Structure 1
């Protein structure tokens, strides 16, 4: 097939999901010419049944979205996270309902952001609303070249560019190609960049529930023998559940009728928020770890899940992609101002150095926590419960963990501080 050039600019982004759209806005805000490619029409990604997940946005992530013009659109659909309660979950035993166990670790946003108007620990938003806010912000910038729906079928590296080839015969030429095409990135695979990881043998059941009592902006994370069970506050008296089970059990829960599922849900959820009822569909997602050996190849950067996809127990997947976008946009803008090659190894190595430590710390933490807590060994259960209680009594430790989850540890890119990249 003869390829015809339909974009010749600075950066081509393969993958128009949350990370890809955020990066496109970040680059454009810095005066970098950008094209965005996705195999799906954007309208499909906005449908209720496309993605049932909700994401916790760290406070630094929301600062960046505000700076890029997407935060204002998103904010009416977000719920502030004022507190996070982490505990060894109390399994139902026939004598009492489930719910929080006796050992807890409480994170209170007033410790790091005091005052009635202080920043929350984060914001909860359903992914469909996050996509809508990003898509509307991109639509308001017609000089961001959007190619969707169309499939990318490969790329070639030239002396001064990396060309992305589309199934319809067009070629998009960029000085830098960025892979935002997920854990199983086709761009990364063609580049021959190895990855490591494993399947946890777990699936996350995602559902939205209504409850009788207000959640007051509190997020709960129970650690159960089968895996984490998260109750994440949404707008109104609603919460998003991420219920981790062994794969077979998750499939069985997914297949249950509404009455059966709600009975199992009440046993796991507890009654501290009153009566709980499922609303809307439910989804299951396999839980895996996949980490790229490097975060770049010749003329190519890996961003979001293409760099590393982690277990969702810390709710940091989207935030890592936002931090990737902030760092990569700042480096790319600086390279362009200095007249340097945007796809050079020097710039890409800077990007990897900036992002790898934060990434690997979260990879290790989520993997260790999932393995440590996803069992019912009595001595270990007691030890980890006591560990939670000890950390709960050490204010500097609590504040460190809150700031780390908020993305405020280390050398922050400008966008995460709420600062513009415009020259």
Structure 2
């Protein structure tokens, strides 16, 4: 039996960043992860580009992770544009409205994962009490007023003051604690990949609500080999259509994506592997239980349309870590009911409104009826004229 202060289940970016933050208070941390240790150190490209707000970047700097990402891999997100159907009109959200030189930054998910792991390894080398138990699976969790116990598939048992689930929006650990979650399956899947294209993107992100499809364009820095304009392309369709698209050979795929983007970007060329993800949003009924908390996607699994998923994860980590640091400094219980209730209250207030708004946006903006398309066009044109509204959106995107 091994004792530690905190057990974190899941060594993805959220779990690693939480371990990083908590270790700075002198607590001992054990990270339990199903993947092999080499997969944590060199995570594979998974297609996803993460839009980081200014606040998230500032926190990653505090954790010593931001500087571990190559500068060329950080793409400036200057502006955002929202399109409807085949109309060339778009609502433009400019960075100037946010008060920053850019709305935020785009970074590949696997690079964030690697940087977060390297930052934890640096802390470990410097003497931080962080242990990573890779290739391990949690089989049971139980907690009471005295402490928490985590049983592993290997037969080992961990005891701790607090257990945190950071093991994805479909968290098995959350279910072990009997916490139900509100799950919304949008009945669609998204295909993500990196492509080069003829026309410049001007570092503007596109969200394009088309007929029977939703497209997104996330601006990346120029292709390092050819110098061509490069973007992350996201196509959202029904699962069957996505599978057909994914099965096309590279040339046919290029031509099909050009057609779907109505050749607004000119010729397009696939520059990466393709990855498909089902669209399911998740919001647990509770974020906490006795000596137990959820973090990252295990707390809030967002639809990607508003680009707040990982940003909400980092915000929750900062809130939880701050509360624990305060308790630690005061000599109080780091997993008291009052502390966890404070975390739940603050994180729910920070996330629930936008979670519901995102559900509304995806329902209204993806309907294909003629009245819905007309209403969308009207809303975008009205929104384009309302500078205060656009300022609110820009401020939200910047964090």
TM-score scaled by length of structure 2: 0.93
Distance in 2, matches of 1:48 and 1:65, equals: 18
**Aligned positions of 1:277-316 closer than 5 A:** 277-316=269-308
- Contact 2:138-2:173 at 8 Å conserved across structures: no
Per the TM alignment, residue 342 of structure 1 is displaced from its structure 2 partner at its CA by: 1.6
Gaps of 5+ in 2: 223-228
Distance in 2, matches of 1:14 and 1:301, equals: 11
Residue of structure 2 in register with 1:412 after alignment:
none
Distance in 2, matches of 1:48 and 1:298, equals: 33
Per the TM alignment, residue 393 of structure 1 is displaced from its structure 2 partner at its CA by: 1.4
Per the TM alignment, residue 47 of structure 1 is displaced from its structure 2 partner at its CA by: 5.5
Distance in 2, matches of 1:56 and 1:47, equals: 21
Structure 1's consecutive aligned runs of 4 or more residues displaced over 4 angstroms after TM superposition are 45-50
**Cα deviation per residue 1:38-89 (whole Å; 9 max; x = unaligned)?**
1102432565755221111111100100111001112512101001111213
Distance in 2, matches of 1:362 and 1:354, equals: 14
Distance in 1, matches of 2:36 and 2:45, equals: 12
Distance in 1, matches of 2:230 and 2:40, equals: 22
The alignment yields a C-alpha RMSD, in angstroms, of 1.7
Residue of structure 2 in register with 1:33 after alignment:
28
Change (3 A) 1:136 1:204: same
Distance in 1, matches of 2:250 and 2:284, equals: 40
**Residue 23 of structure 1 pairs with residue 18 of structure 2:** yes
Per the TM alignment, residue 216 of structure 1 is displaced from its structure 2 partner at its CA by: 2.3
Distance in 1, matches of 2:306 and 2:328, equals: 35
* 2:264 match: secondary structure: coil
**Residue 62 of structure 1 pairs with residue 57 of structure 2:** yes
Residue of structure 1 in register with 2:214 after alignment:
228
**Aligned positions of 1:382-397 closer than 5 A:** 382-397=374-389
Distance in 1, matches of 2:5 and 2:208, equals: 45
Gaps of 5+ in 1: 91-100, 408-423
**Cα deviation per residue 1:164-196 (whole Å; 9 max; x = unaligned)?**
222223223221110001122111111111112
TM-score scaled by length of structure 1: 0.88
- Contact 2:98-2:398 at 8 Å conserved across structures: no
Residue of structure 2 in register with 1:400 after alignment:
392
* 1:309 match: secondary structure: coil
Change (3 A) 1:339 1:160: farther
Residue of structure 2 in register with 1:86 after alignment:
82
* 1:35 match: secondary structure: strand
**Residue 357 of structure 1 pairs with residue 343 of structure 2:** no
**Residue 125 of structure 1 pairs with residue 107 of structure 2:** yes
Residue of structure 1 in register with 2:193 after alignment:
207
Distance in 1, matches of 2:30 and 2:58, equals: 24
- Contact 2:144-2:290 at 8 Å conserved across structures: no
Distance in 1, matches of 2:349 and 2:384, equals: 26
**Aligned positions of 1:205-354 closer than 5 A:** 205-236=191-222, 237-354=229-346
Residue of structure 1 in register with 2:225 after alignment:
none
Q: How many corresponding residue pairs?
A: 388
Residue of structure 2 in register with 1:182 after alignment:
168
Distance in 2, matches of 1:326 and 1:89, equals: 39
Residue of structure 2 in register with 1:197 after alignment:
183
Residue of structure 2 in register with 1:94 after alignment:
none
* 1:281 match: secondary structure: coil
Residue of structure 2 in register with 1:154 after alignment:
140
Per the TM alignment, residue 315 of structure 1 is displaced from its structure 2 partner at its CA by: 1.6
* 2:18 match: secondary structure: helix
Distance in 1, matches of 2:157 and 2:252, equals: 52
Per the TM alignment, residue 231 of structure 1 is displaced from its structure 2 partner at its CA by: 0.3
**Residue 170 of structure 1 pairs with residue 156 of structure 2:** yes
- Contact 2:82-2:91 at 8 Å conserved across structures: yes
- Contact 1:295-1:302 at 8 Å conserved across structures: yes
